[in-house]
Amino acid sequence: MAKHKKQPRPKAETPKGFRDYFGAEVTQRDAMLRAIAEVYDLYGFDALESSAIETVEALGKFLPDVDRPNAGVFAWQEGEAGGSGDWLALRYDLTAPLARVYAQHKNDLPTPYRRYAMGPVWRNEKPGPGRFRQFYQCDADTVGSAGMAADAEICAMLADTLEAVGIARGDYVVRINNRKVLNGVMEVAGVLDPSHPEKFAEARGIVLRAIDKLDRLGTDGVAALLGEGRRDESGDFAKGAGLSPAQAGTVLGFVGARRETGAATVARLRELVQNSATGIEGVDELEQIAGLLAAGGYGADRIVIDPSVVRGLGYYTGPVYEAELTFEIFDDKGRRRQFGSVAGGGRYDDLVRRFTGQDVPATGISIGVDRLLAALREKGRMRSAGRGPVVVTVMDRERMADYQAMAAELRKSGVRAEVYLGNPKNFGNQLKYADRRASPLAVIEGAEEKARGVVQIKDLALGARIAENATLEEWKERPAQVEIARGDLVSCVRDMLASRSGGA
Amino acid sequence: MAKHKKQPRPKAETPKGFRDYFGAEVTQRDAMLRAIAEVYDLYGFDALESSAIETVEALGKFLPDVDRPNAGVFAWQEGEAGGSGDWLALRYDLTAPLARVYAQHKNDLPTPYRRYAMGPVWRNEKPGPGRFRQFYQCDADTVGSAGMAADAEICAMLADTLEAVGIARGDYVVRINNRKVLNGVMEVAGVLDPSHPEKFAEARGIVLRAIDKLDRLGTDGVAALLGEGRRDESGDFAKGAGLSPAQAGTVLGFVGARRETGAATVARLRELVQNSATGIEGVDELEQIAGLLAAGGYGADRIVIDPSVVRGLGYYTGPVYEAELTFEIFDDKGRRRQFGSVAGGGRYDDLVRRFTGQDVPATGISIGVDRLLAALREKGRMRSAGRGPVVVTVMDRERMADYQAMAAELRKSGVRAEVYLGNPKNFGNQLKYADRRASPLAVIEGAEEKARGVVQIKDLALGARIAENATLEEWKERPAQVEIARGDLVSCVRDMLASRSGGA
């Protein structure tokens, strides 16, 4: 440590855009991820965990906001400073790594390959309130199946998953659409020439991202982005796709094509894509998925066709889907709004071909873990906090072994328990500690109790607001305290905890 | 995708030193981590998850091999290429981030703060066979308690944890030592002047790392590293600590000071540290920990004092501990050897002071997750593979909804089930797929079965080696196939699975 003495102290701060998660924040997420994994497993999906680091070339560049530093990823070059090794990067999602994994291991994997994956991903974006640069995703994908049955299965599984973690039917809807329909509409509008797709790639990307912002910007905002561009509240100008008003109108007609029933929506879409072969194919695919889902009992109360869903990512080639929570919450400014999207996905038939040159169809879903967790907390579906431990206080620091024995006995019977390990001199500090630990009970055994073969058990929930400077004597007089035989410690504590949880 | 057409294809490879984990490799690790977390939780430790990325200054440099590229970490600078932002790095362990977390949030945390953490860490080391640059750790630490009761608790919990995950008593030993004793010995040997610690920092580091390699290099190798240095098998020369033969002898005497009983070892250590105040303090601490553990019933069959344990990391200041598995395995070259270390830790009273300038004692343990998992597999304590799904085959692609309904019914009753989603034309491929999925049963419903209201269920374990080109007719004639009423699908499948698992 000596060498640090003359250096300035390091700042005890997470890097900007990162945060720490404590206690129940961690265990609740784990519990939710386990519940999701159970559904995925039941559907025959196998676990996969790839490493956080990939080569930049393997990841590719598919993030919606390509104008970010380092194209939105955290990247560095292998070797010493200024080295000439591979460029490496932290994964920005779990889909790009899946394409690499499948291309690398396809001879050892079943085809079709159903896999799920969960873990953190990283985006090198400008951090903002509630926007973090590390967050969890939980994905399920099927690689190697071109049929719409794979997409229908993913949508059904998504609905089952939301219900399994605690989102009631009626509180969510899975909305599906198809990129081919949008491409067909753009073809009809003259924005996209199927024989020269690269010519319109940039405009197409702007159109996609503009539609994806519909719920945030409204129709006027999207229309501006489809045309010349849009100046936002901060004064920044976002370049538009350069569509004529007529073209923009056609695209907006598509976005608003949702009708009362799925059949009516499909009929309207058929009109809009006219003679575009791509568009017709997309409408057919939508019809197939809807048919399979209806046959499985997934009706319009759970899954609907909605042309306003496009998803921002560049790699989707056919069906796209999005799960939205439909109940209302109050936003930061106290306004009521729908909770919104918690999962999205779609078909990306070209991602594996990047590596192998061969067509490998694929489709899948990604759950935004943090948002879904926030929704469950909103709905009160998560135990609000962890259970605090029973705290064995230290009255006589020479008898630490006695106190440890009590904690050990409690743990052997499954009771979470710990000995106070701070400086035991000030007993009030021990009680403040127990309070901060949300401890249900404290155990006390001073010399006098030891001599009589008894211990005191203090019910801390009843005495939660302990005066900061209460003396031990004052504190012992409080009603919620019982004296029991030392030999009855475990049984009494268990009884008291059971009655507490029964009464809670 | 168009823009990729003219570019060379990206290589479908993990970066060097990284790997993918499939199926049971992932779920077995998760199950083990959950079992560990349960013990940690029972002891009153709270979950913490910090982000993978920290600032380089917060992480500090404490890795044993400081001569590696980028000092052993993956690091990069914030901002555009050549930017002037903070240097960020992936965490190389879970201890350095804990020190930062505690310094940052100490006003909101209980003191003492018991926390556990689990997750990947990254080391920018030269990859080698079985050596990966991303691996899991699972830590438990107590911050803010200076007493040896905290260390004793960690050691007891480590023993409990190993037994909880399936390492039998007798197959492991937790070995404890104390850095202060080593410092005392070095003081006596004239290698360390307590009033000028920085003067001997480099030699001290070499001594530490040399002793840490005792089981790999043997006494002679360590002696060479304590003296002038050592040339390894590859011809590389490692600079030694420059101790005289007499000094090296004193240090080696310490390393070999373990005696039959803990009391005898302590007595021997007292002789060795002579009048060094630091050394005597260390011996006293060892005696205290041993006493507390013995009182808790943790005898020499589980926890022993062993002066050869020093741990390589630079930040330990007092007690150090290591869990070793004592059963023998065969190594790569077919030689019998002990399984070795699976966990290590110790007290690091100065790590938080780096940030705050205030003394904050801390102690903790880190479990090498991958090594412990390998040990459990070695002992047959892990289900060797996941359970394969029931595969519903597709005889008639127009009736996909029927097949999905069967899979859905099975899943509703808790049976893992999936519909075959590949091209259904070649039925043999469906069976090969089921085989690769380790599927216990396949369900078949052709047009003829449909008309009669029956389905076939094929027991794939009995017919595991299906001829690659068997026709459907040949295959149907095999004995392990039953015809059942469609309405009995779920009950029959459940019965067949139950009888299989009963007979396995």
How far from A363 is each of A350, A396, A473, B454, B502, CA to CA, in Å?
11, 64, 68, 33, 37
Out of B334, B351, B378, a domain closes at B378
Q: Is B228 a domain residue?
A: yes
Q: Tell me the DSSP string of B162-178.
A: HHHHTPPTTSEEEEEEE
Tell me what the mean pLDDT of segment A154-163 comes to. Answer: 97
**A12 to B355: CB separation less than 8 angstroms, yes or no:** yes
In eight-state DSSP terms, residue A397 is: G
Whether residue B406 sits in one domain with residue B487: yes
- The alpha-carbon gap from B140 to the nearest alpha carbon of chain A, in Å, equals 13
Computed from CA positions of residues B67, B69, B74, B79, in that sequence, does the dihedral angle turn out positive or negative? Answer: positive
Whether residue A100 sits in one domain with residue A34: yes
Please state whether the peptide bond connecting residue A112 to the residue before it is cis, i.e. omega within 30 degrees of 0: yes
More confident residue, A81 or A439: A439
What percent of chain B has a predicted confidence (pLDDT) above 70? 89
Q: How far is CA A425 from the centre of its chain?
A: 45
Q: Is A494 a domain residue?
A: yes
pLDDT at A69: 43
Q: Is pLDDT at A466 greater than 60 in this prediction?
A: no
Domain at A396, CATH number: 3.40.50.800
Phi, psi of B124 (to 5 degrees): -85, 70
Taking CA–CA distances from A404, the nearest residue in chain B reads B296
**B418 to A44: CB separation less than 8 angstroms, yes or no:** yes
**B52 to A15: CB separation less than 8 angstroms, yes or no:** no
Which among A43, A69, A156 has CB closest to B80?
A69
Whether residue B418 sits in one domain with residue B472: yes
For residue B124, the enclosing domain spans 24-378
pLDDT at B240: 86
**B421 to A79: CB separation less than 8 angstroms, yes or no:** no
Torsion of CA A315, A317, A318, A323, to 10 degrees: 10
Taking CA–CA distances from A412, the nearest residue in chain B reads B42
pLDDT at B72: 85
Contact between A473 and A467 under an 8 Å Cβ cutoff? The reply is no
Phi, psi of B60 (to 5 degrees): 70, 180
**B114 to A418: CB separation less than 8 angstroms, yes or no:** yes
Which among B42, B112, B389 has CB closest to A422?
B112
List Cβ neighbours of B174 (8 Å cut-off, separation of 6 or more).
B155, B158, B159, B302, B303, B304, B321, B322, B323, B324
How many whole angstroms separate alpha carbon A276 and alpha carbon A77? 45
Taking CA–CA distances from A201, the nearest residue in chain B reads B2
**B149 to A4: CB separation less than 8 angstroms, yes or no:** no
Most A-contacting residue of B22, B192, B313, B387 (CB-CB within 10 A), to test interface: B22
**B26 to A14: CB separation less than 8 angstroms, yes or no:** no
The overall average pLDDT reported for chain B is: 88
**A419 to B295: CB separation less than 8 angstroms, yes or no:** no
Q: Is A440 a domain residue?
A: yes
Grade residue A504 by pLDDT with cuts at 50, 70 and 90.
Answer: very low
Tell me what the mean pLDDT of segment B174-178 comes to. Answer: 96
**What is the pTM (predicted TM-score) of this model?**
0.89
Whether residue B183 sits in one domain with residue B308: yes
Angle at A218 between CA A215 and CA A220, to 5 degrees: 155
- Which of B205, B308, B187 is closest to B247 using CA atoms? B187
Which of A57-71, A115-129, B461-475 reaches the highest mean pLDDT? A115-129
Q: Strand B390-392 to strand B172-178: parallel, antiparallel, or no bridges (unpaired)?
A: unpaired
- The alpha-carbon gap from A124 to the nearest alpha carbon of chain B, in Å, equals 9
pLDDT at A335: 84
More confident residue, B208 or B284: B284
Out of B321, B352, B378, a domain closes at B378
Whether residue B404 sits in one domain with residue B351: no
- Which of B134, B122, B78 is closest to B96 using CA atoms? B122
- The alpha-carbon gap from A120 to the nearest alpha carbon of chain B, in Å, equals 9
How many whole angstroms separate alpha carbon A307 and alpha carbon A245? 20
Whether residue A460 sits in one domain with residue A375: no
Q: Is pLDDT at A1 greater than 60 in this prediction?
A: no
pLDDT at A274: 87
Q: Which residues of chain A make contact with B28, given a CB cutoff of 8 A?
A: none
Q: Is A484 a domain residue?
A: yes
- The alpha-carbon gap from B263 to the nearest alpha carbon of chain A, in Å, equals 18
**A18 to B386: CB separation less than 8 angstroms, yes or no:** no
Taking CA–CA distances from A414, the nearest residue in chain B reads B42
Q: Is A491 a domain residue?
A: yes
DSSP, collapsed to helix, strand or coil, labels residue A322 as: strand
Q: How far is CA B86 from the centre of its chain?
A: 30
Which amino acid is it at A133? Answer: R
Grade residue A417 by pLDDT with cuts at 50, 70 and 90.
Answer: very high
Q: Which residues of chain A make contact with B67, given a CB cutoff of 8 A?
A: none
How far from B118 is each of A107, B43, B131, B257, CA to CA, in Å?
33, 16, 19, 35
Contact between B100 and B352 under an 8 Å Cβ cutoff? The reply is no
Q: Which residues of chain B make contact with A407, given a CB cutoff of 8 A?
A: 43
Which among A389, A405, A436 has CB closest to B296?
A405
pLDDT at B79: 73
Lowest-confidence range among A58-67, A260-269, A394-403, A482-491? Answer: A58-67
Q: Which residues of chain A make contact with B353, given a CB cutoff of 8 A?
A: 1
How many whole angstroms separate alpha carbon A326 and alpha carbon B323? 52
Whether residue A474 sits in one domain with residue A439: yes
Which among A13, A112, A407 has CB closest to B421?
A112
B349-384 residue pLDDT tens: 888 998 999 989 999 999 999 999 999 988 887 765
CA Rg value for chain A:
29
Whether residue A443 sits in one domain with residue A359: no
**B27 to A50: CB separation less than 8 angstroms, yes or no:** no
Domain at A63, CATH number: 3.30.930.10
Whether residue A424 sits in one domain with residue A372: no
Please state whether the peptide bond connecting residue A440 to the residue before it is cis, i.e. omega within 30 degrees of 0: no
Q: Which residues of chain B make contact with A126, given a CB cutoff of 8 A?
A: none
Q: How many domains does chain A have?
A: 2
**B9 to A76: CB separation less than 8 angstroms, yes or no:** no
User: What residues are paired with B117 via a beta bridge?
Assistant: B139
Q: Is B461 a domain residue?
A: yes
How far from B347 is each of B158, B211, B310, B319, CA to CA, in Å?
15, 18, 12, 6
- The alpha-carbon gap from A337 to the nearest alpha carbon of chain B, in Å, equals 30
Tell me what the mean pLDDT of segment A463-485 comes to. Answer: 65
How many whole angstroms separate alpha carbon A386 and alpha carbon A23? 7
Tell me what the mean pLDDT of segment B380-406 comes to. Answer: 87
B429-448: b (≥16 Cβ within 10 Å) or e = ebbbbbbebbbbbbbbbbee
The secondary structure of A94-110, three-state, reads CHHHHHHHHHHHHHHCC
- The alpha-carbon gap from A49 to the nearest alpha carbon of chain B, in Å, equals 5
How many whole angstroms separate alpha carbon B133 and alpha carbon A39? 32
User: What residues are paired with A195 via a beta bridge?
Assistant: none
- The alpha-carbon gap from B348 to the nearest alpha carbon of chain A, in Å, equals 11
Phi, psi of A59 (to 5 degrees): -65, -40
Dig out the tokens for B390 from the structure: 């029931």
List Cβ neighbours of A339 (8 Å cut-off, separation of 6 or more).
A324, A325, A326, A327, A328, A329, A375, A378
Whether residue B415 sits in one domain with residue B357: no
Alpha helix segments (H runs only) across A350-426: 353-356, 369-378, 400-412
A·B CB contacts under 8 A: 313
pLDDT at A66: 46
The secondary structure of B308-360, three-state, reads CCCCCCCCCCCEEEEEEEEEEEECCCCCEEEEEEEEEEEECCCCCHHHHCCCC
How many whole angstroms separate alpha carbon B94 and alpha carbon B228? 35
Grade residue A240 by pLDDT with cuts at 50, 70 and 90.
Answer: confident
How many whole angstroms separate alpha carbon A222 and alpha carbon A214? 6
Which among A44, A153, A291 has CB closest to B389?
A44
Which among A41, A144, A315 has CB closest to B416?
A41
More confident residue, B378 or B318: B318
Out of B319, B351, B378, a domain closes at B378
Contact between B145 and B114 under an 8 Å Cβ cutoff? The reply is no
Q: Is pLDDT at A156 greater than 50 in this prediction?
A: yes
Q: Is pLDDT at B338 greater than 90 in this prediction?
A: no
DSSP, collapsed to helix, strand or coil, labels residue A7 as: coil
How many whole angstroms separate alpha carbon A136 and alpha carbon A122? 9
pLDDT at B67: 44
Whether residue A380 sits in one domain with residue A395: no
Which among B57, B401, B418 has CB closest to A296?
B401
SS3 content of chain A, % helix, strand, coil (to 5): 40, 20, 35
- The alpha-carbon gap from B200 to the nearest alpha carbon of chain A, in Å, equals 11
**B78 to A44: CB separation less than 8 angstroms, yes or no:** no
Taking CA–CA distances from B429, the nearest residue in chain A reads A111
**A3 to B198: CB separation less than 8 angstroms, yes or no:** yes
B143-173 residue pLDDT tens: 999 999 999 999 999 999 999 999 999 999 9
Q: How many other CB atoms sit within 10 Å of the CB of residue B161? A: 24
**A144 to B57: CB separation less than 8 angstroms, yes or no:** no
Q: Is A328 a domain residue?
A: no
Whether residue B470 sits in one domain with residue B361: no
- The alpha-carbon gap from B147 to the nearest alpha carbon of chain A, in Å, equals 7
Which among A10, A76, A152 has CB closest to B76?
A76
Which among A197, A296, A421 has CB closest to B145?
A421
Q: How far is CA A339 from the centre of its chain?
A: 14
First vs last Cα of chain A: how many Å apart?
Answer: 50
How many whole angstroms separate alpha carbon B439 and alpha carbon B431? 9
**A400 to B42: CB separation less than 8 angstroms, yes or no:** no
Q: Is B366 a domain residue?
A: yes
pLDDT at B503: 42
- Which of A292, A273, A287, A13 is closest to A150 using CA atoms? A292
- Which of A184, A186, A311, A310 is closest to A248 using CA atoms? A186
| Residue recorded with tokens 């022993």 | B304
Contact between B340 and B167 under an 8 Å Cβ cutoff? The reply is no
Which among B12, B50, B391 has CB closest to A58?
B12
DSSP, collapsed to helix, strand or coil, labels residue A425 as: coil
- The alpha-carbon gap from B225 to the nearest alpha carbon of chain A, in Å, equals 23
Contact between A384 and A24 under an 8 Å Cβ cutoff? The reply is yes
- The alpha-carbon gap from A91 to the nearest alpha carbon of chain B, in Å, equals 12
Which among B11, B44, B51 has CB closest to A58?
B11
Q: Which residues of chain A make contact with B145, given a CB cutoff of 8 A?
A: 421-422
How many whole angstroms separate alpha carbon B161 and alpha carbon B36? 6
Q: Strand A172-178 to strand A303-305: parallel, antiparallel, or no bridges (unpaired)?
A: parallel
